[in-house]
Chains A and B, each alone.
Chain A
Amino acid sequence: MNTVDEILDYAIDQEQQAADFYADLATRAEKAGMKNILLDFSAEEKTHKQRLLAVKAGDRELTPEQEVLDLKISDYLVEVDASENISYQDALIVAMKRERAAFQLYTDMAARVPDGKLREVLQGLAREEAKHKLFFESEYDDRVLQDN
């Protein structure tokens, strides 16, 4: 991946894969109400993909350079299985961890390329993922950590 378009194509593909992952999990989910939640997650990932497609088409800028709030919730949670019996809490943990991994990946990649447009795009993608992570972490904070 040496060009901006290649990087964006990769990121778009990743968002599509995430959408497919949740949609597939939704078809297998056994717990009451989980199907809809996972389909909501899938729809959220498709929204992310649309945003990146808009960036590639030049209709939108990546998240500008400003610090995105990091709640650090997912950093200290254990890994959970994305099984058929997944719960609400675990579904959110899976989502937070996936966004965190993506954020880490783009951040690492940005550190390895020289200054320039490519690095800017990678840093922008990292901020996009940080925003997605914040979205799921806020959901976790509001819904799971209500009494904590």
Chain B
Amino acid sequence: MSLKDLLSPFYVWQRAFEKPYTSMRPIQERPGSAAYRGFHINISEECIGCGTCHKICQNDAIDMVRVEACEGRSGDSGLRPRFDYGRCCWCALCVDMCPAGSLRMSNEYTWITSDPTEYHFTAGVEHTTWQENPLGYRRAEDYHLYPPRRIGMEMRPPEESVQSFDEVVLGYSESQALLEADRCIECGICVATCPAHMDVPDYIRSIRERDYEKGLQLMYRTNPFPATCGRICTRRCESVCPVGIQGEPIAIRWLKRFIVDQIAPQDYARILADQTGDSGRRVAIIGAGPGGLSAAYYLRRKGHAVTVFESQAMAGGMLRYGVPSYRLPDPALDKDIDYIRSLGVEIRFNTRVGRDIPFDELLDGYDALFISTGLTLPSSMRIQGEDHPRVLSGLKVLDDVASGRDPGIGRQVAVIGGGNVAMDAARVSRRLGAEVTILYRRRIADMPADPEEVHESREEGCRIVTQAIPVEVLNASQSDQVALQWGEAEMVQDPRGGRPRPVLQEDRMHTDTFDCIISAIGQGGDLGFLPGNLQEQLAIEWGKFIPGEYQHTALAKVFVGGDVANRTADAISAIEDGHHAARGIERFLNPDAPAGSEQQVN
């Protein structure tokens, strides 16, 4: 070894005081570009936890985790995305797909830690330095991975629709349904919101697979009225559909209708293959509306003998006598009802409990009893002159039309109210050739009627006067007419909170003459059939039953449901009440069955 070799390790020291060629950090405050795909940002208040980001991620880098602070919001799963940066490839597919538009990316990309397990974080929930970062990747406003607009529905034009009671909505063709079904992102938020918890993503998938029989089977698990709900459902599912946040929600109702319309009634028995059997138990149901018949269907499938007592000549309740045929044609309603009856459900028509048969007879003669009598009594306006013969009830007008009778409304009609009954009465009146003025005491936005119904009423020529309070009914100069005094209202904020309330302006009164006034301000239940001693025992508040967990009451064998026992008063809630009561009755009839077996009532 030479001397040079011996000294060479020490030569490096001559460099010790030179300026270094490397820097302490490999990247010195070098920001990402403005649209860089860096760490994720999630606006938690805008996120609804639909999990679409989780589903679309090709690297399984996103998990949905429970976030307590986000739970309890309608249309929000309470989950939020948790990112694993050991897996993320920064493709931004999650951002592009996010239907809420809450997910984006910052342009930050450095995260220095000695603990690799830290590279997980719940965006928008756990504190990060980049959550407020204004830069980074954003989905372009007009860029969508699915069409944001729904496939338009063909409808009769208003000038044609008012000429008849033919169905206004014409339904999707197969190609239209396939395109619309393709828009569904299968998040399932709709399932939680639907009162009947219908398996919406799966029956929409059955359209994509063109397996409509499977779709029908899925629907009947939780709803034996799909033809009806496919037309008139209040579709809370659509109100929470994430696709609707930045576009239009999936047309869930119309897709449901499409499936049912593809299947002929005579094929139902083969497709659904319901087994009925004979349990030896008898259940009485009061009311053949959606609640009563839904309970009848699920109870019959458990083998119980079911007898339904119906005061009217036909089944369907308010669906038949309150919903006009241009929205729900009889053949569609009959498709649902006929199948339920085909399972051996007996309906005793023209039999009013309390008049034609005592309530006690049902209580004593059956193993269980389900009451679903609906809201059949129209509320009164209680204003001066209301007993004028030209003041008609909205329910009566709709009943007359459904039963083929002439309601005798004349040519100039005033409709009082802003609910669905008011809109239906108005549109029916238009079809009978009347000029219609709807008077409503609040604003359009406050109307409890379906916004589509309000829109279509206007399209068909109904005039809507808002913030109009009826004050008195007067005799008109002609004996076959009636005058209505009404006053304008100002909306005033209630100091106790809640929505603004209308206050009559007494210096802005009007009097108009009509051929008739149709009052449609609401309806209540008729519980007169209950014996007095039982009324004390059943929890009743403001004319409605207060049901227990399984729609049960303080009387062990009595169950209640439908409009007369819920706040929502729509068909889908009544259907679910009937289904749930069937579960409750099954528990009651088979108390020794294993816990949870009643859930098999589907």
Contacts and interface: CB of A to CB of B under 8 A. Distances in A.
A binds B: yes
B308 interface: no
B542 A69 contact: no
Contact of B503 (A32, A70, A144, A146): A70
Given A33-B540, A76-B383, A147 B422 contact: yes
Interface of B: 379-384, 386, 416-419, 421-422, 440-441, 448, 469, 471-472, 492, 494-496, 501-504, 506, 520-522, 524, 527, 530, 532, 535-536, 538, 540-543
Interface string A11-46: 000000000000000000011110111000000000
A55 interface: no
B418 A148 contact: yes
A111 interface: no
16 contacts: A31-B527, A32-B527, A32-B538, A33-B542, A37-B541, A37-B542, A69-B501, A70-B503, A77-B382, A78-B382, A87-B524, A93-B382, A143-B542, A147-B421, A148-B418, A148-B522
Contact of A30 (B381, B532, B543): B532
Chain B CB count within 10 A is highest, among A32, A70, A138, A145, for A32
Interface string A57-95: 000000000000111100111101000000111100100
Given A33-B542, A138-B496, A145 B383 contact: no
Contacts, number: 91
A141 interface: yes
A76 B540 contact: no
B470 to A, nearest CB: 8
A141 B494 CA distance: 12
Chain B CB count within 10 A is highest, among A71, A138, A146, A148, for A148
Given A32-B527, A138-B496, A72 B522 contact: no
Contacts of A144: 379, 521-522
B440 A148 contact: yes
Contacts of A138: 494, 496, 501
A78 B382 CA distance: 6
Contacts of B504: 72, 75-76
Contacts of B520: 147
Nearest to A66: B495
A90 B382 CA distance: 9
Interface residues of A, number: 29
A72 B503 contact: yes
A71 B426 CA distance: 27
B501 A141 contact: yes
B544 to A, nearest CB: 8
A121 B345 CA distance: 68
A10 B259 CA distance: 70
A14 to B, nearest CB: 24
Contacts of A70: 503
Contacts of A147: 379, 417-419, 421-422, 448, 520-522
Contact of A76 (B418, B472, B501): B472
Nearest to B569: A146
A88 B471 CA distance: 21
A32 B495 CA distance: 33
Contacts of B419: 146-148
Contacts of B381: 148
A87 B524 CA distance: 10
A138 B494 CA distance: 9
Contacts of B496: 138
Given A33-B543, A76-B472, A89 B382 contact: yes
Given A33-B535, A147-B418, A88 B542 contact: yes
A36 B381 CA distance: 24
Contacts of B541: 33, 36-37
A74 B103 CA distance: 52
A69 B522 contact: no
B527 to A, nearest CB: 4
B2 to A, nearest CB: 104
B383 A69 contact: no
Closest 4 CB pairs of A and B: A33-B540, A147-B419, A148-B521, A32-B535
